[in-house]
Amino acid sequence: MQTRTPAVLQTTHKRTVSLMSAASVCVLVTGMAALNPDVRSHVANVVFGDRATELSTMAAPARAALRAATSFVGSYTDAPRSVMAFGVGAVVLFCLMLRT
């Protein structure tokens, strides 16, 4: 029976966090595409159309939004998971409110 070293555990943790982050982004984009036809057309262009033009058009605003979101979320890394879950729920409800 092998014992996992701290380096292996750390690498596994980093991969798990990366996978969960990618899955979260996919869930958010899918939800937004289901709610907004503009987002749906952007996603369709990325998947089936001209990726280079579409991604370059979205890069600048997305970079600014991502920078603001990561700085905001980074300040709450020590918060309990229930607070983070509440925050995610609040963001989802806010997006739904903007849609209607």
Q: How confident is the model at residue 77 (pLDDT cuts 50, 70, 90)?
A: low
Overall number of domains in the chain: 1
Give the Cα separation of 8 and 98 in Å (integer): 44
Q: Show the domain range for 49.
A: 7-99
Residue with tokens 């990618």: 22
Whether 1 is in a domain gets the answer no
Model confidence at 27: pLDDT above 70: yes
pTM of the model: 0.49
Is 31 domain-assigned? yes
Rounded mean pLDDT, 66-88 = 75
Long-range pairs for 67-74: beta carbons < 8 A, 24 or more residues apart: none
Q: Look at residue 2 and tell me if it is in a domain.
A: no
Residues in the chain: 100
28-76 per-position pLDDT tens digit: 888 888 888 888 888 888 888 777 777 666 666 767 777 877 777 676 6
Phi, psi (rounded to 5 degrees) for 4: -80, 130
